[in-house]
């Protein structure tokens, strides 16, 4: 993908043609956003439980399976058969929402729990995209 560096301000009423000072950069979104291509998948966020962390309903989540999981990371996990996107409290074995309307979830013995990967990026979509994976509250 070739990128034309244009700085656009919200509310601007017009600007010069992008071709006026066309500069072509060799930049790949894959290279920019994905550290481990063979261990990364993209999911679609669903729900409002992670809004205070900047993840909104319909956002794309870039999830890296190769990243070491650390306390406080935002992760995608399989929790009792459902894919969830939460902040991981490794010390107290809890899943935390980033919205006051949701209580912490204690991970108990006997629960099915597997971290699928660390959310390294989220991308806000201004038009709907195909569903890739649903991460719910």
Domain containing residue 82: CATH number: 2.10.109.10
Kindly state whether residue 65 falls inside one of the protein's structural domains.
Answer: yes
Asked if residue 16 is part of any domain, the answer here is: no
Report the C-alpha gap between 28 and 5 in whole angstroms: 14
Q: Is residue 63 part of a domain?
A: yes
**Is residue 82 situated within a structural domain?**
yes
Model confidence pLDDT, tens digit, residues 104-118: 999 999 999 999 999
pLDDT at 127: 77
Residue 107 or 100, more confident: 107
Q: Which of 12-26, 38-52, 71-85, 108-122 has the lowest mean pLDDT?
A: 12-26
Number of domains in the chain: 1
pLDDT above 90 as % of the chain = 65
User: How confident is the prediction for the chain on average, in pLDDT?
Assistant: 84
Please state the pTM of the whole predicted model.
0.76
Catalytic residue positions?
49, 86
Whether residue 41 is contained in a domain is answered as yes
DSSP the chain: -EE------TT------TTTT---EE--HHHHH-S-GGGEEEEEE-SSTTGGGT--TT-EEEEESSSPP-TT-EEEEEETTEEEEEEEETTTTEEE-SSTTS--EE--TT--EEEEEEEEEEE--SS------EEB-
Express each pLDDT in 27-72 by its tens digit: 788 888 999 999 999 999 999 999 999 999 989 999 999 999 999 9
Question: Residue 13 domain-assigned?
Answer: no
Structural domain that includes position 58: 36-135
In a domain, 21, yes or no: no
Task: Please state, in angstroms and as integers, the Cα–Cα distance from residue 124 to each residue in 6, 9, 54, 59, 72, following that order.
Answer: 19, 17, 9, 5, 22
Residue 115 lies in a domain: yes
């Amino acid at each position: 993908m070739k990128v034309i560096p244009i700085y656009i301000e919200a509310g601007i009423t017009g600007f010069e043609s992008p071709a006026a000072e066309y500069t072509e950069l060799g930049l790949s979104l894959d290279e920019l956003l994905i550290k481990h291509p063979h261990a990364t998948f993209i999911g679609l966020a669903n729900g409002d439980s992670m809004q205070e962390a900047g993840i909104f309903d319909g956002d794309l989540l870039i999830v890296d399976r190769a990243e070491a999981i650390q306390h406080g990371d935002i992760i995608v996990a399989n929790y009792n058969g459902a894919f969830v996107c939460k902040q991981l409290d490794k010390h107290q074995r809890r899943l935390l929402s980033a919205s006051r309307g949701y209580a912490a979830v204690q991970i108990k013995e006997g629960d099915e729990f597997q971290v699928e990967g660390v959310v390294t990026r989220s991308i806000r979509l201004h038009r709907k995209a195909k569903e890739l994976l649903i991460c719910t509250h």
